[in-house]
A and B are shown apart, each in its own frame.
Chain A
Amino acid sequence: MSTTAAELPGFEAYVRSDGRVGVRNHLALVSTVALSNRTAELAAAAFDARRAVSTPPTLLVRGEFQRGLQATDAELLNRILTQLVLHPNIGAAVVLCHDRRAAQVWRRRVAGCGKAVEVLAVMDSQGVQRAVDLAVEALLRLEPELHRATRKTCALSSLTFALECGGSDASSALCANPAIGRFVDSVVAQGARVIVSETAEFIGGEAVVRSQSVSAEVADAIIARIGATEARMAGDGDHYRGVNPTAENIEAGLTTLTEKTMGAMCKIGTSRFEGCLAFGETPSKPGLYFMDTPFFSPCSITGMVAAGAQMTLFAMGVFNPSGNPLAPTIKVCGNPDTLQHWHDGIDVALADMIEGHIKLDTAAQRLQRVIMNVANGALTHTERWGEGQFIVPRMLPAF
């Protein structure tokens, strides 16, 4: 390892009342159910037209969040939304519910959380415009709270990194994933938390999990989740070629899921798994963790960000616009063709690794420089384009 723990520099970020560190200071507007999405969109646009120049654009957290979910799915959705509201990249938040009862529950949920949070119910207003205005007024009240937060010098050990890949091709296995893996090794040694997910993309990688886990129990737990996903895919009776590997993976030359898995696994470096997490579960101590998630990246990233990840490192072969609006997504790519045509969506270019012009250590250092800049506030391309989604998985039919 060329980068030792002592060499990793600090960065300026926001230390929250719970001790966690935010690399962004977002004012969030969280719509807890799809019914209130449009009110939230209109309120965010109206507030953005009035906010101070120094206030970042409203971070809109919304999805196709449903009512009528079965208990385990409803609990997961509520838990994930709560963790997102409390996420350290959010400085203050307006939680917008549809009905009054949901708002009461949310007020209890965020009481004493140490963050400026206002909870509103659309049904507390009279008229569509009034509902929008009330949300705008709440954002305006919270705006000064946001500016009370100040940046302090923080260590990389205060961060949780989400690892992701998308549009995988042969270059992902040679450039982006190994460079991320080398950075992961150095940052894990420094005491940070790192989460990797997408259970289906570990099918065929069980031997690597076995050799890179801190204990047989951890390996068994991860391999059991991989086995359960493989059994679900087989039991479904559908053909998964074209689903995973995806159509664009196949076009890019990846033939089987095992081939894709072997490339994807390079992003954990030589680090060892400390534990196996459920969707959105927060790592209890420093180190590398596996999270059991669906493979669709906007969904798996949502799980890792809800677990507290402040940044996402995203390895790319062919272009993929996925990301998360809350945790800056750093796009890393080694495919020369992608870099030529999609340079306005890529943060770290590593094509020179292919012809051997730079070594893995140099690539990891290039990645680390960008990570430090982003931790200090530099915007990623996904932030600039406003890319990214929040998707919470649902396992059971809704009522």
Chain B
Amino acid sequence: MPRIALTMHPSDNVTTLMDGRLDQASTHDGLLLKTSVPFGHKVALRAIAAGEAVVKYGVTIGVATTAISPGEHVHVHNCS
């Protein structure tokens, strides 16, 4: 069973994983992602370049500090 991922706004470039099925590597929408991303954490919906805005709720919540690939975990290690 793929993971539940909720995207808050059409212009978002991240989606939020809302379940604890950490062994799954895809979402309902077919996005491939790494396993073990915890409940409530974000993954990139598409490639995000270093310095590009990270958008959730349709607003810029931070800036990518390194290049982020689709499906990659987005958090304090690559976004500030």
A253 to chain B, nearest CB (A): 4
B38→A174 contact, CB < 8 A: no
Which of B18, B38, B57, B79 lies in contact with A255, CB distance below 8 A? B79
In chain A, positions 240-265 with a C-beta closer than 8 Å to chain B are 241, 250, 252-256, 258-259, 262-263
Whether A204 is near chain B, meaning CB under 8 Å from some CB there, is yes
- Whether B39 and A253, one on each chain, are in contact in the complex, defined by CB atoms closer than 8 angstroms, is yes
Q: How far is the CB of B80 from chain A (nearest CB, A)?
A: 7
The answer to whether A259 touches B61, judged by C-beta atoms less than 8 angstroms apart, is yes
Smallest CB gap from B62: residue in A: A256
| A258, B38: Cα distance in complex, Å | 20
In the complex the two chains form, what is the Cα distance from A170 to B75 in whole Å? 13
- Residues in A with CB closer than 8 Å to B16 are 170, 253
- Contact between B56 and A259, CB atoms less than 8 A apart: yes
Would you list which residues of chain A between 134 and 169 have a CB under 8 Å from chain B?
A: 169
Closest A residue, CB atoms, query B6? A174
From A171, A254, A262, A336, contact of B57 by CB (8 A): A262
On chain A, the residues within 8 Å of B39 by CB distance are 169-170, 253, 335-337
Is B41 among interface residues, defined by CB-CB distance under 8 A? yes
- Given known pairs A253-B39, A253-B40, A355-B4, the reply for A204 and B61 (CB within 8 Å) is yes
Contact check, B18 vs A253: say whether CB atoms are below 8 A apart.
no
Partner among B40, B59, B61, B79 whose Cβ is within 8 Å of the Cβ of A169? B40
Chain B's nearest CB lies how many Å from the CB of A147? 48
Minimal Cβ-Cβ distance residue in B for A260: B61
Residues on the B chain within 8 Å of A170, using CB: 16, 18, 39-42
The 8 A CB mask of B13-53 against A (1 = contact, 0 = none) is 00010111000000000000000001111100000000000
Distance of A170 Cα from B74 Cα, bound (Å):
13
Q: How far is the CB of B48 from chain A (nearest CB, A)?
A: 13
Question: Restricting to A324-356, which residues have a CB under 8 Å from any CB of B?
Answer: 335-337, 354-355
Asked whether A303 is an interface residue with its Cβ less than 8 Å from the other chain, the reply is no
Interface status of A317 (Cβ within 8 A of chain B)? yes
- Which residue from chain B places its CB closest to the CB of A207 in the assembled complex? B59
Query: Which residues in B have their C-beta under 8 angstroms from that of A254?
Result: 40
Residues on B with C-beta less than 8 A from A335 are 39-40
Shortest CB-to-CB span from A226 to chain B, Å, is 15
Minimal beta-carbon separation of A201 from chain B (angstroms)? 13
Which one of A250, A253, A262 has the highest number of Cβ atoms from chain B below 10 Å of its Cβ?
A253
Interface residues of A in 67-112 (CB under 8 A from B): none
- A313-326 interface mask toward B, CB cutoff 8 Å, 1 = contact, 0 = none? 00001000000000
What CA separation (Å) do A174 and B7 show in the bound complex? 11
Query: A264 CA to B39 CA in the complex, in Å?
Result: 18
**CB–CB A171/B40 < 8 A:** yes
CB distance from A265 to the nearest CB of B (A): 9
Which residues of A sit under 8 angstroms from B19, Cβ to Cβ?
354
> Closest Cβ of chain A: how far from B75's Cβ, in Å?
5
A253–B8 Cα distance when bound, in Å, is 15
Q: How far is the CB of B28 from the nearest CB of chain A, in Å?
A: 11
CB distance from A267 to the nearest CB of B (A): 14
Whether A255 lies near B62 (C-beta < 8 A) is: yes
- Closest residue on chain A to residue B74 by CB atoms: A255
Contact at B18–A354, with CB atoms within 8 Å?
yes
Taking A170-B42, A256-B61, A256-B80 as given, write out 4 further A-B residue pairs in contact, using a Cβ cutoff of 8 Å, ordered by the A residue number: A255-B74, A255-B76, A262-B59, A336-B39
